C-alpha cells in the first residue's frame, strides 16, 4: 500500500516563463531541508510530485504553475 500512496501523490506542472527558473524540493519531517533542485529555461516544463519525502516545492523566477486546484503565475516584474 505504501508504494501506491507514493505513486498516487499529488502532481503539479511548472512551466518556465524565463530562463533560469529554479525549482527546489523541500523535505518533510522535523527539519525542513532542500533535497533536490532543478533549473528550467524558458518554455521548459517540469512535472513534480509531492511524496512521502517532498512536502513543499519552492519556485524562483517567472513561471506558470498548474495544479488540480487551479493555475497561477509567480509575480511578474
Pairwise CA distance, residues 23 & 72, whole Å: 15
Nearest Cα to 48, choosing from 33, 58, 62? 58
Please state the CATH superfamily assignment of the domain spanning residues 2-73 in this structure. Answer: TRAP-like (2.60.40.50)
Confidence of residue 2 (pLDDT cuts 50, 70, 90): low
20 — phi, psi (to 5°)? 85, 20
Kindly provide the residue ranges of all beta strands, DSSP E only, lying in 1-77, ordered along the sequence.
11-16, 21-27, 34-40, 45-49, 54-60, 63-67, 70-73
Query: Mind listing the pLDDT tens digit for each residue in 38-75?
Result: 999 999 999 988 877 778 889 999 999 999 889 999 97
Amino acid at each position: 500500500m505504501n508504494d501506491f500512496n507514493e505513486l498516487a501523490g499529488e502532481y503539479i506542472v511548472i512551466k518556465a516563463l524565463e530562463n533560469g527558473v529554479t525549482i527546489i524540493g523541500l523535505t518533510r519531517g522535523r527539519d525542513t531541508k532542500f533535497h533536490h533542485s532543478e533549473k528550467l529555461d524558458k518554455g521548459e516544463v517540469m512535472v513534480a510530485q509531492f511524496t512521502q519525502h517532498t512536502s513543499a516545492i519552492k519556485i524562483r523566477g517567472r513561471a506558470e504553475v498548474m495544479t488540480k486546484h487551479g493555475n497561477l503565475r509567480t509575480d511578474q516584474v
